[in-house]
Structures are given as C-alpha cells and as structure tokens.
Amino acid sequence: MAGASQETRHQVTGLVERWAGSAGPSLARELFGVLAVLDENGALRRALIDPSYDGSHRAQAVRRIFAGKVSDSAVEIVAALVERRWSDDREFSDALEAAGVLVAAASAENRGGLAALDEVVDRLIAFKGVLDGSHELQRAMGDPRADVDAKTRLARRLAPEASEEALLLIEQAVLSPRGALVGRLVERFAEEVAARRQQWIAHVTTSRPLGEDQVRRLQDQLNTLYGKELKLAVEVDPALLGGLRVQIGEEVIDGSVATRLDELRQRISA
C-alpha cells in the first residue's frame, strides 16, 4: 500500500506534536502494538471510525478498550485519531502508523537532537541498501510464513550499532509491512524521519546578503525562540525588497517588504 497521504501526515503531525517533547521509543512501540491489534480486527477498526457515532464516543471506546494495556499517552493519541473523520479504515490505519513513526523520530530528537535524527535516517537507508543488494534477503524478509524471532534476529544483524529508534522502525517494517515491500517501507520511514529533521533547519531568505554579525544575532534569536540549536541556510532574493523570511519545518515567519506590500494591495482592492 502507498501509506499515509501528505494530507494525512500533516494532520497526524499537528495532532501528535503535543506528545512529541516527552516521547520515548516505548510510546512508539505501543502505538505500533495498537496498530497490530487493529490490523488483525477489521470489525473493531471499522467501528472505531464509524461516522454514525460521534467522535467523542469513539474516543471513549478507545479509552475503555486500551486503558491499562498501553500508556495513557498512547491511549490519548489513538483516541485523538479516532475523533477525526477518515475516508476509510485503511486511511485511519495509515495515520496510526504515521503517528508511530513520528513518535519514534521525536524520541530520537529528544535523545540526541539533529545528530540522532541523522543517525536514524542513515541506518534506515543503509538497511534498505543491504536489502536491495540481495534477492535472498528480500525473499526472507518478505516471507509472511517466516518465524518472527528469526526475522527479528536477522534484521538486527543487518543493522549493527543502530539506535533503539532505528531498530524499532526496521523491525516494524520487517514484521508488519502491511502489504508493502519491506525495503520500500523502510525508505518511506526514512523520508518521514527526514521530514522531522527539517524542524532543525531555518531556511532564511533575505533581500541582500547578511553580515557575519547579523547571521550570528539572527541565529541566537531563533535558537532562543525555538529552544534548540538550529542550522541556518541563508539565500538572497532581491524580490523581497527588504526584510527577511524564515521557514522552519512548516512554520513561516515572513517579515519581508514584498509580503507587506502584497497584503496592502489586497486590503486596498477588497
């Protein structure tokens, strides 16, 4: 399957962000565990997104079913997901999978910042590279009849020195590919973790080059504002006329003259 759509990932990112700051690998593992339960129980999965029931009632059903089986945080993430409307149960399942990946990425970020996110992406890509180079490994990893413990041991041998988060995502892809090729799923997980990495990069566009002192002051201000050591990527665009534009992840701070003029034109023509 293609996995979560871009729109679904955007929804999940906004929803899960409230738990991201304290996320650890155990929370991601619990979300994948709930996903496994729902993948095996189609009737329950469909009932939890049934639009004929109010979203708050569906959320309460999640709390009754999973309370005490997983952490309160995991319960609340799943409850928040089922409160939303989904086109079908596959879209909901893909959203839950995306939530697990996002939490794993946040766990790495909490543990080691940008370097830890880079490590997870590198290990996932390296694992996919090993699979791509061996048809025998692809068959072994893709065989649904293969012993789970044997698959897990093999995956761990193929990813030496990988962090807990990287191993968690590799094992999720190997043991629960959900109709996808293992290598392609690992690659998609890497892309989703890499998207999280963008929140550590401030893309700055200015109307004219900045001096070293200006760049240093801007970085200090952004670091203070976001509470972490950001990397700055500075680009000059004379079309801005003046001021600057900063984008970190999906958040944009636009203080350019061109933007203010455009807003003024819109107000005048309204």
Strands 201-206 and 244-248: antiparallel
Pairwise CA distance, residues 55 & 153, whole Å: 41
Q: What average pLDDT does this structure show over 201-225?
A: 86
pLDDT higher than 80, residue 9: no
Terminal-residue alpha carbon distance, the chain: 46
CA-based nearest residue to 103, from 164, 174, 19: 19
Tell me: pLDDT of 264 over 60. no
pLDDT one-digit tens code per residue, 31-81: 999 999 999 999 999 999 999 999 999 999 999 999 999 999 999 999 999
Q: Which residue(s) pair with 248 in the sheet?
A: 202, 251
What pLDDT sits at residue 196?
86
Whole-number pLDDT of residue 214: 87
Give the tokens for residue 198: 């963008």
**pLDDT for 232-263, tens place per residue?**
888 888 887 777 788 887 778 876 665 665 66
Domain ranges of the chain: 6-197, 207-269
Query: For residues 118 and 130, what is the distance between their CA atoms, to the nearest angstrom?
Result: 18
Average pLDDT of the chain is: 89
Q: Which residue type sits at 121?
A: V
The answer to whether residues 83 and 55 touch, using CB atoms and an 8 Å cutoff, is yes
pLDDT value at residue 258: 59
Residue owning tokens 């994948």: 32
108 vs 239: which has the higher pLDDT: 108
Q: What CA–CA distance (Å, rounded) separates 132 from 113?
A: 29
- Assess whether pLDDT exceeds 80 at residue 126: yes
Q: According to the model, what pLDDT value does residue 138 have?
A: 92
pLDDT score for 192: 92
Enumerate the β-bridge partners of residue 67: 70
Grade residue 1 by pLDDT with cuts at 50, 70 and 90. very low
Quote the pLDDT of residue 33: 97
State the average pLDDT over residues 89-99. Answer: 94
Token pair listed for 10: 């955007």
Mean pLDDT throughout 91-113?
95
Residue 107's closest CA among 178, 185, 166, 42?
166
Please give the share of the chain, as a percent, with pLDDT higher than 90. 60
What would the two tokens of residue 202 be? 């401030």
